[in-house]
Chain A
Amino acid sequence: MAEEFFIQGNEACAKGAIAAGCRFFAGYPITPSTEVAETLARELPKVGGSFVQMEDEIASAGAIIGGSWGGTKSMTATSGPGISLMQENIGYAFMTETPIVIVDVQRGSPSTAQPTMASQSDMMQARWGSHGDYEPIALSPSSVQEFFDFTIKAFNLAEEYRCPVLVMADEVIGHMREKIVVGDDIEVVARKRPEKTDDYLPFENIENGTTPMPAFGDGFNIHVTGLTHDERGYPDTNTPETHHNLVKRICDKVLNNKDKICSVRSENCEDADIIIVSYGAPVRSAVEAVNRARANNQKVGYVKIDTPWPFPDEQLKEITKNASDVLVVEMNLGQMYYEVDRVLGKDVNVHLMGVIGGLLPTPDEILDEINKIGGN
């Protein structure tokens, strides 16, 4: 039987984590994500899980990586200043192929800025925040239901591709209350244990790029290091091929599966002259702006990007192929805009509606921008 709840986005995220099999959370209080930690502090012990309030966000990221190697699905939740502190350990998780989920309930930035106001200003940090080449997976929920669903999806993707997955929410979605439906047929991906064979290689360069991951204590005696390592996991920091093969495999296992990972939804785009591209909370206003434009016989559609990373180049090109103009609506001064422009800029006019200050752009404000484009 499906159950219904009327809850806050951050609570839905915590509920989704438990449904996905998360049994360890380590975090540090930070507005506007704290309710995720508070909910899990209360709920995890009820399902045999553990909650630890760490001394800072660096420690939180480290603890969940340790927890993951301990054989437990692990998560942390934070906001801008915290995600900045976590970056080194997030890079470590990419290099060591450790499945973890990091929830970022974005707030006004840079620095301490606007703790209780919304933004989407960490999108590029999700992409490039840690030093080096890697291919992150990030999901952006636009409703409380999606915050629940995407948290589950994040855990499943993390297990499937053995990598960190970021849930890039924002203060609007984190703090709003909506009805969610929790089905009884939730798909959960379990971690795969490797087989104990004589030629077992924990970081084997296999075809699809993702090797099964043992837990510490399973008897595999594996060495895990952030140094460039060979297929055995042993440091090999001076051989160019070792580094090239390792980093390429870590990137390719995501890039080669973009068709499975990327998720984009669109409406009214087939005949649209102008298409709104957005993700996260602003999608809500974009949908209403399109409804009003259509009522006024304006040919406007919208694209909602569920997975900003890896960026859905192909889907976006296909959906917008008949349009003349694309309007990117986001709560920063242009981050995903540059990605959209990179992919579509040769074929259509790409415009930015970048809103900062903490308030969600309204449908009317988006319509004003549409009309400006239409008038040109």
Chain B
Amino acid sequence: MSENKNRFLPYLREDRLPHIFCPGCGNGAIINAFLAAMEKADMDFDNIAMVSGIGCSSRIPGYLKCDSLHTTHGRALSFATGLKTANKDLDVVVFTGDGDAASIGGNHLIHAARRNINLTVICINNNIYGMTGGQISPTSPKGSFATTAPYGNLDTPFKLAELVAAAGASYSARWTTVQMENLVLSIKAGLKNKGFSFIEVATQCPTYFGRKNKLKTPTAMAAVMKANTVFKSAADRMSARELEGKIVVGEFANTQKDEFTENLERISVEKSGKKTLINSAYSTEL
């Protein structure tokens, strides 16, 4: 059997398997993409610390064999801000979802982007609340159905990658689980970017979104996602009407900007003559 083992298994907490994700869920493919990107980016896995909030996607760090902080609903980015500020040498990765990041955590999302703090955020957008059983989310398409939108969603969904780019992030992109190669390259770019990096992944939730919206199989959902995907370069030449119901993929920000913890360290060096202290809690000689 051993030769058939998944090559990413050493990164997983095998003693926590099997995982809780439903059959057909996109989370597995996204974990795969993350680990591939992490290797491509030559990251030291032992130096990665993960933070997440509450929801299906936020359970991912619990299966990875690294330090991981599974926090309160919506607040992962505030915990991550503290963690990264306390130890800027750590590579801090945040896994979040559409409800976690954009609804209850919306304020933290735009402020973390505004600070351009060096975090890599992977936002798994399945357009629905999965963990609680299929309620409408801030990215659910207008007119889509959920247990709390039995007559169709009345609200206009957030465009997260665009929102985060507008809020000041130095890297922001959107892909779907259908474009794995692009997704891997984008996560790699996000990991290497010294600043706030946001990678939105549109994904399928056959169990809830699919069931409520007449897309019963993962493959049916993937086919619809693929058919509705428009690359940003093409979308830039399309009208708002033509873009209705489309998923625009590509990069929405990719720039160099001052990074938050670098700035804090600069002030520390100016005022104290030394870099920001790391692991100072363990010392009485400060």
Interface: B82 (CB within 8 A): yes
Partner of B66, one of A21, A65, A221: A221
- Given the complex, which residues of B lie within 8 Å of A61, measured CB to CB? 78
Residue contact B70 to A227, C-beta cutoff 8 Å: yes
Residue contact A52 to B81, C-beta cutoff 8 Å: yes
In the bound assembly, the distance between CA atoms of A52 and B75 in angstroms comes to 16
Partner of A234, one of B62, B275, B277: B62
Residue contact A50 to B86, C-beta cutoff 8 Å: yes
Q: What distance in Å separates the Cβ of A218 from its nearest Cβ neighbour in chain B?
A: 8
Partner of A63, one of B15, B78, B277: B78
Which 10 A-B pairs rank lowest in CB-CB distance, beginning with the nearest?
A70-B86, A66-B82, A62-B78, A63-B82, A59-B78, A66-B83, A66-B79, A67-B82, A225-B70, A71-B279
Interface: A45 (CB within 8 A): yes
Partner of A55, one of B47, B108, B274, B284: B108
Interface: A191 (CB within 8 A): yes
Q: What distance in Å separates the Cβ of B163 from its nearest Cβ neighbour in chain A?
A: 15
Interface size class of A (residues with CB under 8 A): 35 or more
In the bound assembly, the distance between CA atoms of A191 and B279 in angstroms comes to 9
- Given the complex, which residues of B lie within 8 Å of A225, measured CB to CB? 62, 70
9-residue interface stretch from B33-41, B122-130, B232-240, B265-273: B265-273
Interface: B164 (CB within 8 A): no
- Given the complex, which residues of A lie within 8 Å of B83, measured CB to CB? 66-67, 69-70, 216
Interface: B230 (CB within 8 A): no
In the bound assembly, the distance between CA atoms of A65 and B72 in angstroms comes to 11
In the bound assembly, the distance between CA atoms of A91 and B212 in angstroms comes to 35
Mind listing 19 A-B residue pairs with CB under 8 Å? Answer: A24-B85, A24-B86, A45-B270, A48-B268, A49-B277, A59-B107, A62-B71, A63-B79, A63-B85, A65-B71, A215-B282, A216-B67, A216-B87, A217-B87, A217-B89, A223-B61, A223-B67, A223-B68, A234-B15
B274-286 toward A: CB 8 Å interface, digit per residue (1/0)? 1111111111101
Chain B residues numbered 39-57 whose CB sits less than 8 Å from any CB in chain A: 46-47, 49, 51
Interface: A222 (CB within 8 A): yes
In the bound assembly, the distance between CA atoms of A364 and B264 in angstroms comes to 51
A89-103 toward B: CB 8 Å interface, digit per residue (1/0)? 100100000010000
Chain A residues numbered 31-80 whose CB sits less than 8 Å from any CB in chain B: 45-50, 52, 54-56, 58-74
- Given the complex, which residues of B lie within 8 Å of A345, measured CB to CB? none
Residue of A nearest to B283 (CB): A190
Q: What distance in Å separates the Cβ of A118 from its nearest Cβ neighbour in chain B?
A: 30
Most chain A beta carbons < 10 A, residue from B62, B67, B87, B281: B281
In the bound assembly, the distance between CA atoms of A72 and B90 in angstroms comes to 13
Residue contact A224 to B82, C-beta cutoff 8 Å: no
Q: What distance in Å separates the Cβ of B186 from its nearest Cβ neighbour in chain A?
A: 25
Partner of A23, one of B61, B65, B72, B277: B277
Interface: B180 (CB within 8 A): no
- Given the complex, which residues of B lie within 8 Å of A26, measured CB to CB? 81-82, 85
Most chain A beta carbons < 10 A, residue from B81, B107, B278: B81
Residue of A nearest to B80 (CB): A66
Interface: B13 (CB within 8 A): yes
Binding site for A on B (CB under 8 A): 13, 15-16, 46-47, 49, 51, 61-62, 65-72, 75, 77-87, 89-90, 107-108, 111, 264, 267-268, 270-272, 274-284, 286
Most chain A beta carbons < 10 A, residue from B67, B69, B86, B276: B86
In the bound assembly, the distance between CA atoms of A125 and B66 in angstroms comes to 35
- Given the complex, which residues of A lie within 8 Å of B80, measured CB to CB? 66
Besides the known contacts A26-B81, A45-B264, A47-B277, 6 further A-B residue pairs in the complex with CB atoms under 8 A apart: A46-B272, A69-B86, A89-B75, A192-B282, A217-B87, A222-B68
A217-237 toward B: CB 8 Å interface, digit per residue (1/0)? 111111111110000001100
- Given the complex, which residues of B lie within 8 Å of A88, measured CB to CB? 72
In the bound assembly, the distance between CA atoms of A47 and B66 in angstroms comes to 30
Interface: A193 (CB within 8 A): yes
Interface: A188 (CB within 8 A): yes
- Given the complex, which residues of B lie within 8 Å of A60, measured CB to CB? 78
Interface: A159 (CB within 8 A): yes
Q: What distance in Å separates the Cβ of A16 from its nearest Cβ neighbour in chain B?
A: 14
In the bound assembly, the distance between CA atoms of A216 and B277 in angstroms comes to 15
Residue contact A70 to B90, C-beta cutoff 8 Å: yes
In the bound assembly, the distance between CA atoms of A369 and B286 in angstroms comes to 49
- Given the complex, which residues of B lie within 8 Å of A226, measured CB to CB? 70-72
- Given the complex, which residues of B lie within 8 Å of A24, measured CB to CB? 82, 85-86
Partner of B70, one of A46, A59, A221, A223: A223
A2-45 toward B: CB 8 Å interface, digit per residue (1/0)? 00000000000000000001011010000000000000000001
Residue contact A50 to B264, C-beta cutoff 8 Å: yes
Residue contact B90 to A216, C-beta cutoff 8 Å: yes
Given the known A-B contacts A221-B66, A234-B62, are A73 and B281 also in contact in the complex, defined by CB atoms under 8 Å?
A: yes
- Given the complex, which residues of A lie within 8 Å of B283, measured CB to CB? 21, 190
- Given the complex, which residues of B lie within 8 Å of A188, measured CB to CB? 284
Residue contact B272 to A72, C-beta cutoff 8 Å: no
Residue contact A92 to B71, C-beta cutoff 8 Å: yes
